[in-house]
Structure 1
Amino acid sequence: MAESMLGLKRSHRCAEVVNAPLESEVTVMGWIQKNRNKGGIIFCDLRDRSGILQIIFEEDECGSEVFNKAMKLKQEFCIAVTGILKKRSGAFNESLKTGELEVRAMGLRILSESETPPFHIEEDSKTKEELRLKYRFLDLRRPDLQRNLMVRSKVATTTRNFLSENGFLEIETPTLIKSSPEGARDYLVPSRVYPGSFYALPQSPQLFKQLLMVSGYDRYFQLARCYRDEDLRADRQPEFTQIDMELSFVDVDDVLDVNERLLQRLFKDVLDIDIKLPIQRMTWQEAMDRFGSDKPDLRFGMELKDVSDIVKDSEFAVFKNALANGGSVRGINASGQASMPRKKIDALVEFVKSYKAKGLAYMAVETDGSIKSSFAKFMKEEEIEGLKKALDAKPGDMLFFAADSNKIVWDTLGALRVELANQLGLLKKDDYRFLWVTQFPLLEWSDEENRFKAMHHPFTAPMDEDWQYIDSDPGRVRAKAYDIVLNGTEIGGGSVRIHQADIQSKMFEVLGLSKEVADERFGYLLEAFKYGVPPHAGLAYGLDRVVMLMVGADSIRDVIAFPKVKDASDLMTNAPDKVDDAQLKELGIKIEEN
């Protein structure tokens, strides 16, 4: 039967007893990790968020009443223990912070009992994720998840402190807003008061933070909840948290400077890791040419090399056709992998097909200098030597080549180099390599919609010197946009915003939005632009992604208290779920079965 807390006060969390004097009386509370009855003495591991502490119940010390109660303890019982802190009488446990200590129990209260849990509460649980997420309230008792969420809390606190110290004001923006579908799909919320009308949940606070700059607040930040109705993956959830900021009277360098100092502070305060400033910068074009990705992983080499000029007269049809269609031929050097078995090569060929590659050419430079290749018979000797030189090939190296449009070649080799690095164990989670990627294209062409779309969003400012090409060659215009990348993951992005009404209107026109549609969707922003808009810029981090990388987790689900799964459902609460007909009727909604 559960007992109350009446008259009882916790003196320490379990691992905090290391700061208490030996032989002092302590009161600790938590959950039973495990217990062992050795006949006349019971060993019990008590767990709370701080760690694990060994409790000893010995009948001669605690008395028959307490000992008999201790004999009833089972895994995950929630208890309170009062006792004397002592050095362990047996072997020390070096893996525990409290490994040299134990509490000799004098009193015990069973605060609540527990059924046998559906899985064992332990670090790095091998229990299927679906079961753990169904019982997430138990899964969250795992020490590794608790450490992750404590890191997340510290990141949030440190961020707030740093930004406040640097003149930022924390201001909340609405979460029931007007839908403006220019990007991912909105989550819609029906209005009871206005039947047939809907709010949207914000994909970001973008327009409101720009309006705050118009309103003169100068520097704003918010830990903002955001929502996007899109397909999920390891680093994406339908609802997530942004570290969101906006600054007035600034340009690119100002935003990058304050954010470099924020990252330096976060990694020092939370992980005790020194981040050297300034962080390396690289243009989008250089990133694509060298790494095939706008979020390159700098923890290893294997850079792309353009060999189009070397093979431009080649008889190899794959190379010839790609170049004739305006594409390119590029390669990477998998150093020391010349002995890679054919089965593994074939698996890599299948891997790149998901990036629209038609295949993958390869050339192994044997240890004796000879060549084993899928295409060498179509090449002249000087062309083969040129390829080896371009990729700095040495005996024992394996060279891979892709030939197609620039986009497909970049995507293919960019993904292949990461896959190879992963297979070769080159991706160390505690090696933090930051990079600013700058000067993105302002626009990208959509074959599906047969129009240009904003690569970031329609409020991103163009590079001043490129705006002259907006009508004649829109794809040539670069943006004052920047992403912060860590170990191949984009953790944040932003841009200088358009603050001139005429340029903003022209941008809508280029994106195919008529004046009527632009006014209907963004009229309140355009109206604000009539009243003295300061130059402004901003950036937003994915808080979940930042913490995921800081703790070395493989998924943001491991740093979110109650995450969704791939189909955007919550296995614990069974959301989304059907609602009563009365609720639908009140909202004027009728469900049609597909």
Structure 2
Amino acid sequence: MLRTHTCGELRTDNVGEEVILTGWVQRLRDKGGMLWIDLRDRYGITQLAFEEGLTSANLFEQARSLGREFVIKAVGKVVERYAKNDKMATGDIEIRVSRLEVINPSKIPPFLIEDETDGGDDLRMKYRYLDLRRSPVRHNLELRHRMMREVRSYLDNHYFIEVETPVLIKSTPEGARDFVVPSRMNAGEFYALPQSPQTFKQLLMVAGFDKYYQIVKCFRDEDLRADRQPEFTQIDCELAFVTQEDILNRFEGLIRHLFEKVKGVHIERLPRMTYADAMKFYGSDKPDTRFDMRFVELNGIAKNKGFKVFDDAELVVGINAKGAAAYTRKQLDELTDFVKRPQIGATGLVYARVNEDGSIKSSVDKFFSAEDLQAWAAAFHAQPGDLLLILAGPADKTRKALNELRLEMGTQLGLRDKNVFSPLWVVDFPLLEWDEHSQRYHAMHHPFTSPKPEDIDLIDDRPGDIRANAYDMVINGVEVGGGSIRIHDRRLQEQMFRLLGFSKEEAKAQFGFLMEAFEYGAPPHGGIAFGFDRLCSLFGGSDSIRDYIAFPKNNSGRDVMIDAPSPIAQEQLDELHIRMKNLPH
């Protein structure tokens, strides 16, 4: 080894030892007769000391000539520091250097490699290998490593087997767009990269591997944002001979295990909320339950009072922002502008303050009596100092807008603490959703999700009312995982394909292998997949999954470091039987 110790492990117990350290020059402090170098590696920082009179002149000048990010080897004795640094793990000692070797010099980095850097996102992504030297980024990947290790530990202890499934698979029309890979040996035919190992893990259940998992790369060619990447990682799991209750209990256990081992946080048993209640009381199927502020519907007490906005609305609904009655007119106008943004889509905002004496002042006083407003306050369980915020309009659109307002108020009032975790299960999703554009049903989750047994009789007459045997895990308003009990009967699977608009020929061409497998003793089975990148960002307190991926893509799906995607040579295109038209110059 080129080193005897790392830059993060030496302590006062090592005083007097001769050691060899290697690493990168973090910074150099030159005080004339004294010179210090902070030497950094993955494990920490150790201070190297040089002093005129104790250090040879040649060595002193050699140290003075070093630059940031030089890779060096230092030989010296561990001594106790006079001025200790309690902010460093190695802050009680330093190395009195006797020999120094430059292993590799470095150009001046394009940004400061410090915890607080001067590099913007684009620059740091271009030089990601330098960004990865920074402690915050390294800590993020260390967190990811710990989480991956604990996932495997928990599942291994419950007799799951890790099985790798193919990366080159068949393209299917359902779900997001596939990334496709041309086949050189099969002209005009293409593989797809998997959006999920869904059918393979079901086939593993048919094969008798009753507890499967895989920490697996998946791919979706879709529009990107902070919490999406074209390639992402899932904790993918499937079990046979289970009910929904079995799966919820097992994977609730996984999440509690991760919080306990990685964060040192004890999580109580996860509450459950139906999809219908989530939409009614939060306007979202992934509610943030760190704070209350549940929706209160006012149709029965606010309509037919002469206020046209309410009278003409399908739904009048609001939230109680407790303690926010002191909001100024300027702040209320900003909230009105917020809900009127195109991406939120409300036409306006009505508010009412509950004063300290219990009286109520609203923005629509001329339409409502004092008794009417007191009825509002009673519906909201409002107390003096509370602020009532009310929207009206089409039911679905209004709930969606109020959800955004609720989250905004939660942020403004400091109720969305990233160190507080509120997980829950959302259950009883609709099996199908109607698409006006295509005039047909689409699967809410995927075509292999089983209906709830008590709703199967609705397939022919009321398919839109069928509830799915499906479940999502939500933490702090983020969907971190979802799954379902699967269909394991060929006849029911064929019925589902018909509901989704597949012809018999299309169903056979796309999924004939799966339906045939169901005829060879398929057990009842179900599973779940967790977005591993999202879990990591949630545990790390970040809004972006990019911070927890070693080499992420940008919002355009590009890797700016290696400049991918990029054109390929005409010879390669010819081998793949691809003819390109209208290529950009």
* TM-score, with structure 1 as normaliser: 0.94
| Equivalent-residue separation in structure 2 for 1:106 and 1:431 (angstroms) | 50
Aligned counterpart, 1:283: 274
Verify the 8 A CA contact 2:28 2:36 in the aligned structure 1.
yes
Alignment: residue pair count? 581
Aligned counterpart, 1:309: 300
Instruction: Indicate how the Cα distance of structure 1 residues 182 and 19 shifts in structure 2: closer, same or farther if over 3 A, else same.
Output: farther
Q: 1:411 is paired with a residue of what secondary structure?
A: helix
| Equivalent-residue separation in structure 1 for 2:432 and 2:471 (angstroms) | 14
Aligned counterpart, 1:513: 502
Aligned counterpart, 1:489: 478
1:448, distance to aligned residue in structure 2 (A): 2.2
| Equivalent-residue separation in structure 1 for 2:142 and 2:148 (angstroms) | 10
Corresponding position: 1:349 with 2:341? no
1:372, distance to aligned residue in structure 2 (A): 3.5
| Equivalent-residue separation in structure 1 for 2:40 and 2:305 (angstroms) | 68
1:351, distance to aligned residue in structure 2 (A): 2.7
Q: 1:35 is paired with a residue of what secondary structure?
A: strand
- 1:459-482 deviation per Cα after TM superposition (whole angstroms, max 9, x unaligned): 111111111112222221111111
Aligned counterpart, 1:22: 15
| Equivalent-residue separation in structure 2 for 1:52 and 1:264 (angstroms) | 34
Report sequence identity in percent.
Answer: 48
Amino acid corresponding to residue 339 of structure 2 in structure 1 = V
Aligned counterpart, 1:333: 320
1:398, distance to aligned residue in structure 2 (A): 1.7
Aligned counterpart, 2:266: 274
Verify the 8 A CA contact 2:360 2:374 in the aligned structure 1.
no
Aligned counterpart, 1:201: 193
Instruction: Indicate how the Cα distance of structure 1 residues 464 and 250 shifts in structure 2: closer, same or farther if over 3 A, else same.
Output: same
| Equivalent-residue separation in structure 1 for 2:6 and 2:542 (angstroms) | 26
Aligned counterpart, 1:262: 254
Amino acid corresponding to residue 331 of structure 1 in structure 2 = G
Structure 1 unaligned blocks of 5 or more: 1-7
Instruction: Indicate how the Cα distance of structure 1 residues 225 and 31 shifts in structure 2: closer, same or farther if over 3 A, else same.
Output: same
Aligned counterpart, 2:386: 397
Residue pairs, 1:50-61, within 5 angstroms: 50-61=43-54
| Equivalent-residue separation in structure 2 for 1:28 and 1:19 (angstroms) | 16
1:136, distance to aligned residue in structure 2 (A): 0.7
1:370, distance to aligned residue in structure 2 (A): 4.2
Aligned counterpart, 2:573: 584
| Equivalent-residue separation in structure 2 for 1:289 and 1:152 (angstroms) | 35
Aligned counterpart, 1:559: 548
1:409, distance to aligned residue in structure 2 (A): 2.1
Verify the 8 A CA contact 2:11 2:92 in the aligned structure 1.
no
| Equivalent-residue separation in structure 2 for 1:544 and 1:346 (angstroms) | 37
Corresponding position: 1:442 with 2:434? no
Instruction: Indicate how the Cα distance of structure 1 residues 489 and 582 shifts in structure 2: closer, same or farther if over 3 A, else same.
Output: same
Corresponding position: 1:176 with 2:176? no
The partner residue of 2:354 within 365, 368, 372 is 365
Aligned counterpart, 1:4: none
Instruction: Indicate how the Cα distance of structure 1 residues 20 and 483 shifts in structure 2: closer, same or farther if over 3 A, else same.
Output: farther
| Equivalent-residue separation in structure 1 for 2:130 and 2:13 (angstroms) | 30
1:60, distance to aligned residue in structure 2 (A): 3.6
Aligned counterpart, 1:471: 460
Aligned counterpart, 2:563: 574
User: Which deviates further from its counterpart, 365-374 or 68-77?
Assistant: 365-374
Verify the 8 A CA contact 2:234 2:531 in the aligned structure 1.
yes
Q: 2:25 is paired with a residue of what secondary structure?
A: strand
| Equivalent-residue separation in structure 2 for 1:220 and 1:70 (angstroms) | 56
User: Which deviates further from its counterpart, 19-28 or 279-288?
Assistant: 19-28
Q: 1:462 is paired with a residue of what secondary structure?
A: coil
1:67, distance to aligned residue in structure 2 (A): 2.4
1:283, distance to aligned residue in structure 2 (A): 1.2
Q: 1:522 is paired with a residue of what secondary structure?
A: helix
- 1:280-303 deviation per Cα after TM superposition (whole angstroms, max 9, x unaligned): 111111222222211111111211
Aligned counterpart, 2:312: 321
1:275, distance to aligned residue in structure 2 (A): 2.1
| Equivalent-residue separation in structure 2 for 1:391 and 1:185 (angstroms) | 44
Aligned counterpart, 1:219: 211
1:139, distance to aligned residue in structure 2 (A): 0.7
1:40, distance to aligned residue in structure 2 (A): 3.2
State the Cα RMSD in Å.
1.7
Give runs of ≥4 in structure 1 deviating > 6 Å: none
| Equivalent-residue separation in structure 1 for 2:301 and 2:30 (angstroms) | 76
Aligned counterpart, 2:145: 153
Residue pairs, 1:447-462, within 5 angstroms: 447-462=436-451
Verify the 8 A CA contact 1:13 1:29 in the aligned structure 2.
yes
Amino acid corresponding to residue 196 of structure 1 in structure 2 = G
Aligned counterpart, 1:97: 89
Amino acid corresponding to residue 44 of structure 1 in structure 2 = I
Amino acid corresponding to residue 512 of structure 2 in structure 1 = G
User: Which deviates further from its counterpart, 202-211 or 441-450?
Assistant: 441-450
Q: 2:176 is paired with a residue of what secondary structure?
A: coil
Instruction: Indicate how the Cα distance of structure 1 residues 190 and 265 shifts in structure 2: closer, same or farther if over 3 A, else same.
Output: same
1:247, distance to aligned residue in structure 2 (A): 0.5
| Equivalent-residue separation in structure 2 for 1:549 and 1:567 (angstroms) | 23
* TM-score, with structure 2 as normaliser: 0.96
1:424, distance to aligned residue in structure 2 (A): 2.2
Amino acid corresponding to residue 317 of structure 1 in structure 2 = K
Instruction: Indicate how the Cα distance of structure 1 residues 394 and 562 shifts in structure 2: closer, same or farther if over 3 A, else same.
Output: same
